Each structure stands twice: as structure tokens, then as C-alpha cells.
Amino acid sequence: MRLTLVGFGTVGQGLAQALVEKGGLFERRGLAFDLVAVADSRSSVVDVDGLDPASLIERKRSSGRVGESQQTALELIREVDSDVVVEVTPGNPKDGEPALTHIKEALRLSRHVVSANKMPLALHFAELTGMAGPGLALRYSACVGGGIPMLETGLACREAEEVIGIDGVLNATSNFILTKMQDEGYDYATALREAQNLGYAEADPTLDVDGFDASAKIVILADHLMGRDLTLTDVNPMRGLRDLTPQDMRRAKARGKAIRPLAVVGDRAEVGPKEVDPRSPLNVFGATNVAVFRCEDSGERVVAGSSGGGVATSRAVLRDLVAIARGWGRGRV
Amino acid sequence: MRLTLVGFGTVGQGLAQALVEKGGLFERRGLAFDLVAVADSRSSVVDVDGLDPASLIERKRSSGRVGESQQTALELIREVDSDVVVEVTPGNPKDGEPALTHIKEALRLSRHVVSANKMPLALHFAELTGMAGPGLALRYSACVGGGIPMLETGLACREAEEVIGIDGVLNATSNFILTKMQDEGYDYATALREAQNLGYAEADPTLDVDGFDASAKIVILADHLMGRDLTLTDVNPMRGLRDLTPQDMRRAKARGKAIRPLAVVGDRAEVGPKEVDPRSPLNVFGATNVAVFRCEDSGERVVAGSSGGGVATSRAVLRDLVAIARGWGRGRV
């Protein structure tokens, strides 16, 4: 399958690296993926006979650019004949752009889409999934849980009964910060600084610590698994971590509880730090994600793991590509 | 799809009940399942136009038999034209019979098979899966994790990388007993008695507490997800719980550890109580199951839940039936 890759940060480079390392695995399974076009925010590169992923990574690391062309991502999507557009640009909670336009244009042109960018889905889930359909795939496993197969596990849960609610720790940065505040007695600013030093938090941590990232994820989970029609602004309240103090953590502990950055959907969706029982499956530690699916008949089902950053997230993109490759023979529009 | 159901204990009755309750859900999804033949160990009943599941449950509860015919399960498999044979008889770790013969005969006759009976798979995985193939399904989600989608989550994990090891708490009865010994200071016999009183353990608890059940499950996980060719006797050592004392639990606790009934596969497979870190995802409580998939690139992925008994397990059978129904249109042999 020929891929147009839009975005070449940690996830995009993780994907390129995997295409080098996993060639043998895919070959054994009868699958082949070729990068034919790649864009980052400043440049692009095209070769319809297939680009060499290793050289792209090297050029990006040495020059800060993936290519030498000024063609934009949108132009690549329109002009390069590829089977799948992989959208891995950074998220923008305001309007989902430019990823939203990339995804719509790709689907309009009947190209399959794999998105690791969650904001277009969290803002326009029904519209985007409505543009896809039999023979035209829009997949977005990487949007929730990094590399953890949260959507896949949730889908299995709802095959034979309804998922009636979902609780999760969906932002690893926030959980890392709260774990440090709980275990080490750090204040919020110190814990955030450590998260930044270790690469778990961005220089501007707003998306993570103010709840936008977790909100986008709980919206996607609810729309995908519970048939809801929520959008980002339906998450209410959306509370962040900035006001939490070490004293709050100690008070919770004295009550035999732990505070975790929860995202919850049942009748309504909300995000914010909340107390959980120490033995709850939601009481996970460090840069970890967990989702608990409340199933109508069979109780709670839990999926969890270390969020793992760009490499792990690129594995979720690969899973989506494999799924499309397997289904492809059964009739693409 | 027309179903022949072999076995009418808690899982079989749970499935029959679900066919009553979930009719609307399946109809909305364009699926239909009809029971055309059912056998328990003492009787059977056939109606090619479809049996009424509610009356079957009622007759079983009032008379101890599902029907009035003496036709055996094997005869039903051979003589009644159905699409899927659902095998939910109790497990027999010695030779997997009679389920082994049921499954082989059904596959030989090109009937899809869904098995909740793990022993035939744990004893003859390669042979049985080799008899199935494109267009002929053998599915066995209910064999591992009760209703928890363990196999499905594991399969998602290995779509884009290898699973290099699996650790699990796979027998809920054992974990219930160890939790009671740890939390309440019970000795083994008292904890077992409570498990029996609550319906978590059979009158003869051997399969659970001596490790046969967990061994069968780790073999199926390893063969299914890691491409191994293990069988039940390859699990070595297989240790049970009978020798554990409250003192062992206290000693572990003094070292800051918990003892959990683990099943592990890496280079080799073993089963037995082992110490884990209190914050390990393997440290689950009560009648709970968990599997941790060690993924080559992206780290640990965890799936867990309450094991939930017959009703939950019947939901896994239903998931398999839905998967077969969805794939059916794409060419049955």
C-alpha cells in the first residue's frame, strides 16, 4: 500500500522507523507499505516509486526538514496517487486545523485515512466517520491510549452487549504529575518541571494539564463505543490540575484514597482530578493510561499500559494500516 | 445463523438467555441467531425451525434435562443441518473428551465451531486450528478470561509487532482464595470453603486450585498470540495453592510484596503462586483475571476484569458468533 504521511514528528518518525524495522514481519504476513509522499510543517518530499524511510529520518534530524520541496500537505494529498493518508500532525483543540482539512480532502478523494491527530475526531466525529464507509476506511486507534489497543478492546466489549459507561485515566502526563505529587510530596510546579525534563510534558503543557487531551479522548471513546454524538465542548466540567496542592493529596491519602486525573462518560462527560479507591483499576501510576468499560451484562473490562510516547503511538498507526491492508482486497470504493 | 449447542450448564443457559434478551441489539445490527439443536449430558432437543430458548431454560431448571430425546451430541452434530456448533461442555484435562471429538467432527463436516471448552485447544491447538481455515471458523474467545476480551486485545497487540511474553492471573478462583488469605488471614481450607459457598469454586476444586485451568489458558494464549506450539504438559512447573499458608502471605507482605497465582510464558511456560510488586498490574483482587502482554517495541499492555462466571463467559461466545456471522457473507466453504 502506498502511503502519504502528513506530519513528521515523533509519531511520524516512529512510523518511518517501523517501516524499516518491521519489513520482515509484514512480508511474512503478506503485507507491504511504501511511503510515497511525506510532509512536515516546513517542507515535503515525493517519490512515487517509494521513499527510503531511513534517509528521511536522517535528513529531518540533520536539517530539521523532511524534504526540499515546498509542496504543502494538502497539495500532496491532492496530487500524489496514494492509497492511505496518514495524518500525524499536532492537535489543535480550537478548530482541529490543519488536520481537519487534510482528513476531509483525503476522504473526499476516496483515500483511506489513518489519523493519530485526535482533535478533528473530537470536534467532528459524526461528520468525518460519515464520510467514510464500506470500502473507505477512517481509522484512529492512535488517538486514544497511545499504543494501547483501547478502541479495539472496547469494540470487542460491545460486540455482544452495550457499553454503558467509560472511566479512564487518559492523559499520561497528568497521571505522571499526580503520581509525583502523591509519592514524593512535590508541588504541582515541581512535578510539571520533572515531567518536562523527562519529555513527558511539552514546554506549553496546556493541552495535557488543563484537560483538553483527556476530553478529546473520552469524546472519541463515547462516540465510537457508545454511539454518542458528543463533541469537545460537551465535556463539562473540564478541570485541570493547576489548582491541586500537596495538601489535597495528603488529605485524600488520609481518607484512604488516591487522586487520579479521570475522564468519565456515562449520562454526561467530565474530566478532572478525582478520588479513587487504592484498589480500583483506575489507580495506575506514572505515565500510564487505563480505560474501564462498564458493560451492560458482564461488568467492568479494563485495558491499560504505559502510554509510551511516539514509538508506541506509531504502533497503533501501524495496526490501523494492517487492518486497512487486510480489508482492502474486499473492495475499495 | 443456525446453532447447535452442545452443553447446557451455566454458559449454555447464559447464551440461551442472551439470545432472548439481545434479540433487539442483534436485529439492529442485522444479525440473527437461531438455536436448532441443544444437547446436555443426559438428553437433547431438535427443531430445525428454531427452538424457544426461554422454554429450554425452564425445562432444564424444572427437570434437569434440556429435552426428551436420547440423541447424543455427536449425533446432533452429524444429523442436524446447522451453521455453527457451540461447544460448552465441562473441560477434561486428561484427553479433552468428549469435546475434542465434537469439535473435530463439526470441523470435518465444515461447520463453524465456537468453543468455550478450553481443554481440546490446550491439548491439540495446532491440529484443531489447522482443521479450520479461510471460510471455516474455529473461535475460542471464551476459553481465556471468561467474558474479558483477552484474545482480541492480544491480537490487536500483535498486529504491528511481536508479543514476546505473557504474564497473567488467569484463574479467578485461585485469586479469590489468595486474596482472602492475604486480606483476612484465612488459611487455605477456609478460603476455599468460602469460594465454594459463593459459587466461585466447584465441589471438586482440582482444575482451579491445582493449576490445570490456568495452564490451559496460558497455553492457548501462547499458541494463539506468540505462534508457539505448546500443549498442556509443556507447562512446567505447574504448582497449585494447597501448600500455601497464611504465614507465606505474611512473609511476602513483610517484604512489601503480594502473592498472586501467576501463569507465565516467555521462553517457557509455568504456573504457580509468585510474589509481585503491589503496584504491578498483576496485583488484582478477588475473582479477577488479568493478562499482561509484553510487546516487543511498545511495552506492557494490560487487559483485565472480573471473570464473572457463566453469563460473562456466554458473552464471549456471543462475540465469536457475531464475528462468524459478519465474516460469513465473505464465503463459507
The whole-number pLDDT of residue B333 equals 26
End-to-end CA distance of chain B: 15
Residue B49: which region, alpha, beta or left (left: phi > 0; alpha: psi -120 to 50)? alpha
> Which of B302, B305, B318 has its CB closest to that of A299?
B305
Of residues B102 and A159, more confidence is placed in: B102
Q: In what order do the strands lie in the sheet with B34-39?
A: B44-46, B34-39, B2-6, B84-87, B112-115, B138-139
pLDDT digits (tens, 9 = 90+) for A44-74: 999 999 999 999 999 999 999 999 999 999 9
B47 has a chain A CB within 8 A of its CB: no
| Band of pLDDT at residue B182, cut at 50, 70 and 90 | very high
Strands A44-46 and A84-87 turn out to be: unpaired
Instruction: State whether B308 and A318 contact (CB < 8 Å).
Output: no
| Band of pLDDT at residue A263, cut at 50, 70 and 90 | very high
pLDDT digits (tens, 9 = 90+) for A296-310: 988 999 999 997 788
Task: Locate A282 and state its grid cell.
Answer: 483506575
The whole-number pLDDT of residue B318 equals 95
Pseudo-torsion of CA A7, A124, A155, B3, nearest 10°?
-130
The whole-number pLDDT of residue B332 equals 34
Contacts of B148 in chain A (CB under 8 A): 301
pLDDT digits (tens, 9 = 90+) for B31-82: 999 999 999 999 999 999 999 999 999 999 999 999 999 999 999 999 999 9
Contacts of B304 in chain A (CB under 8 A): 281, 301-304
Query: Rounded to an integer, what is the distance from CA B17 to the centroid of its chain?
Result: 18
- Among the listed residues A221, A290, A301, the one whose alpha carbon sits nearest the alpha carbon of residue B150: A301
Searching chain B, which residue's CA lies closest to the CA of residue A300? B305
Contacts of A299 in chain B (CB under 8 A): 147, 305-306, 308, 312
With a cut of 50, say whether residue B330 has pLDDT above it. no
The whole-number pLDDT of residue B328 equals 59
A47 has a chain B CB within 8 A of its CB: no
With a cut of 60, say whether residue A329 has pLDDT above it. no
With a cut of 70, say whether residue B183 has pLDDT above it. yes
What's the whole-model pTM score? Answer: 0.95
Catalytic residue among B118, B180, B217, B274: B217
Helices (DSSP H) in B64-170: which residue ranges?
73-79, 99-108, 118-131, 150-157
| Band of pLDDT at residue B311, cut at 50, 70 and 90 | confident
Which structural domains are found in chain B, ordered by start?
A: 2-147+311-328 (3.40.50.720), 152-306 (3.30.360.10)
| Band of pLDDT at residue A328, cut at 50, 70 and 90 | low
Percent of chain B with pLDDT over 90: 89
Lowest mean pLDDT among A156-170, B171-185, B306-320: B306-320
CB A40 within 8 A of CB A123: no
Catalytic annotation on A274?
Answer: no
Q: How far apart are CA B179 and CA B200, in angstroms?
A: 13
Write the ipTM: 0.94
Q: How far apart are CA A142 and CA A315, in angstroms?
A: 8
Percent of chain A with pLDDT over 90: 89
B323 has a chain A CB within 8 A of its CB: yes
Searching chain B, which residue's CA lies closest to the CA of residue A311? B298
pLDDT digits (tens, 9 = 90+) for A106-152: 999 999 999 999 999 999 999 999 999 888 999 999 999 999 999 99
Q: How far apart are CA A77 and CA B39, in angstroms?
A: 58
HSE-up of A317 (CA within 13 Å, CB side)?
A: 34
Of residues A238 and B311, more confidence is placed in: A238
Q: What is the mean pLDDT of residues B105-124?
A: 98
Q: In what order do the strands lie in the sheet with A2-6?
A: A44-46, A34-39, A2-6, A84-87, A112-115, A138-139
Q: Which amino acid is at B126?
A: A
Chain A, window 135-194: residues with a beta carbon less than 8 angstroms from a chain B beta carbon:
147-149, 152-153, 156-157, 159-162
The whole-number pLDDT of residue A331 equals 37
Lowest mean pLDDT among B155-159, B214-218, B263-267: B155-159
Q: What DSSP string runs through A8-49?
A: -SHHHHHHHHHHHHTHHHHHHTT---EEEEEE-SS-EEE-TT
